[in-house]
Structure 1
């Protein structure tokens, strides 16, 4: 299991990096903003609950302890990631929409045709908006399951993979900011305004012109077009849900629907979705490597062995696979060495 000190250390490093980014572009967090007050209150409540229920005790105490830890870390990663996109947007230049649209054309994807279908069917709009905004619902359900089942290793692995995906997404966003296909392709009246609206096209120029210097954590909008963090989140949620058998198929269906709704509701090019999926797969691999490394450090090994596992979020599978490999190695070392026969003289 990933140590709690690693999680706290990563969270602290993220806070420092966010402060540096904000200072570089002379931005600040509105200290009296309603969103900031709510963020401080939520974080404080999570820390207090985690501290009061520390250690092993009654089952309900363990559930409260674990859930407050998971939810607190997850909310912190989400808020800091969204806030970091503002100074990054203020520091970069240009837009990559022409290149992204050219890639979509190469892939034979017509975003306007996809958008027109949704704009012509109100039911698709309602369904799309609902599943798109479920990005914050799935993790809360997963954290409840992990807390009740006592599966701390899987929960921490999921949080770390989500954190790695956020870092990779922000790094790529700094290289290819975009307005989004709705602002880039639509000409004239907009028949249907998706959830993401035109925030990229409106806020990024304002940030670059330093017209927006104060950030309210309660009024953050998505500025990242490529890669799509909704697409990355959908893959991470589905990977985590696979080991939660009671929730597996409902959460797989919900996040598959969110993935389908992301091009329109998130105003994303198809290449944004593909790159978001790649980000999620890299984040899963990185989190798994960290988990293996921490496991080997706890056992006193300098370098982890490569062990294949059927499930990235199943710590028991890691342990059983490693035990099986150790047993095979021990058995092979204990086999008697055959004594060579003497050749008979003719």
Structure 2
């Protein structure tokens, strides 16, 4: 009999289980924080994300237990974990915002100016160069596709431990960013400076005001029912776009194909963040620092846990004795 057909659920890599346990812990924290903040989730809006995660994990289990293909299994599982954590982090950001302290916009703007960084001059420069502004906006909007692509590149490239490490770094950076956003909340540059669309008439920033209604409602108590179908990125400090940009650069660097395009695209995404996301420059710096620390922490934790799937995976036919196993299973 083919040995592949006798694999058991116990063969599911421990790294995969540990990551899900971490995400479940974040989900528990989110539920407790939402309860404390008096927020309620519209349960129906969670059905689609939950079904997507479950479906991806079921298929990943098939390719772990019944038809072993580590590259496909890890890629599918990592995508499921990204989706699951993203939903939890979005809800947690709303709960944190509802319990946040005084706004810190004055302090962030003053710190920018103390560092010699002029946000309004940057806005004016891009407004005078609408072609460059449009290119940066396009790069800013690539966040979600890149999150999936980096997992596919690492997973199908056989860098399975690196794929798990990316997801862990993503979770660490996300949790730190969300918690800090509650300790140091801000409405962002456009609202704080009282800017109107006519002040940047040649630009179409991605999200200058999109977060204001929800952030205001959370802080004044008028928004208490939350739906995953319609959530905005309400975090100003630190910049999660920047943190993810640094993560993408780090993990795209592992593939020769994506190395330089990854640097170029994410350099543009980070450069777009102050204008397209309404961030202060200190938000960008803080996001970059969080990313570097998250990468270091994730790498340490993955190495300390030991190789769950190995640094690289080969197809079954390329492993010693693999041809025989494939023949017996055909």
Q: What's the CA shift string for 1:248-276, capped at 9, x where partnerless? A: 11111111110111110011111111111
Q: Distance in 1 between matches of 2:53 and 2:40?
A: 19
Q: 2:221 aligns with which of 194, 198, 210?
A: 210
Q: Distance in 2 between matches of 1:270 and 1:244?
A: 30
Q: Distance in 1 between matches of 2:195 and 2:302?
A: 49
Q: Distance in 2 between matches of 1:236 and 1:118?
A: 26
Q: Distance in 1 between matches of 2:260 and 2:244?
A: 17
Q: 1:181 aligns with which of 179, 189, 196?
A: 189
Give the 3 Å change call, closer, same or farther, for CA 45–245 of structure 1 in structure 2.
same
Deviation at 1:141, TM superposition (A): 1.7
Give the 3 Å change call, closer, same or farther, for CA 292–51 of structure 1 in structure 2.
closer
Task: Describe how 1:225-304 pairs up with structure 2 within 5 A.
Answer: 225-295=236-306
Give the 3 Å change call, closer, same or farther, for CA 268–135 of structure 1 in structure 2.
same
Structure-1-length-normalised TM-score: 0.80
1:50 aligns with 2:60: yes
Q: Could you tell me whether the CA contact under 8 Å between 2:16 and 2:77 is conserved in 1?
A: no
Higher mean C-alpha displacement, 201-210 vs 220-229: 201-210
1:121 aligns with 2:133: no
Q: Could you tell me whether the CA contact under 8 Å between 2:64 and 2:73 is conserved in 1?
A: yes
Deviation at 1:26, TM superposition (A): 1.8
Q: 2:23 aligns with which of 2, 6, 11?
A: 11
Q: Could you tell me whether the CA contact under 8 Å between 2:169 and 2:297 is conserved in 1?
A: yes
Deviation at 1:181, TM superposition (A): 0.9
Runs of at least 5 residues in structure 1 that lack an aligned partner in the other structure? 299-313, 317-346
Q: Could you tell me whether the CA contact under 8 Å between 1:180 and 1:200 is conserved in 2?
A: no
Q: Which structure has the greater CA radius of gyration?
A: 1
Higher mean C-alpha displacement, 94-103 vs 21-30: 21-30
Q: Could you tell me whether the CA contact under 8 Å between 1:28 and 1:215 is conserved in 2?
A: yes
Task: Describe how 1:11-30 pairs up with structure 2 within 5 A.
Answer: 11-30=23-42
Q: Could you tell me whether the CA contact under 8 Å between 1:49 and 1:64 is conserved in 2?
A: no
Q: Distance in 2 between matches of 1:75 and 1:232?
A: 17
**Paired residue for 1:166?**
174
Q: Distance in 2 between matches of 1:288 and 1:144?
A: 19
Deviation at 1:137, TM superposition (A): 1.7
Q: What's the CA shift string for 1:186-218, capped at 9, x where partnerless? A: 345443452122244432221122211122212
**Paired residue for 1:66?**
74
Q: Could you tell me whether the CA contact under 8 Å between 1:154 and 1:315 is conserved in 2?
A: yes
SS of equivalent to 2:43: coil
Q: What's the CA shift string for 1:290-321, capped at 9, x where partnerless? A: 1222129x9xxxxxxxxxxxxxxx958xxxxx
SS of equivalent to 1:32: helix
SS of equivalent to 2:233: coil
Q: What's the CA shift string for 1:73-106, capped at 9, x where partnerless? A: 1111222112211011011122100000000001
Q: Could you tell me whether the CA contact under 8 Å between 2:190 and 2:278 is conserved in 1?
A: yes
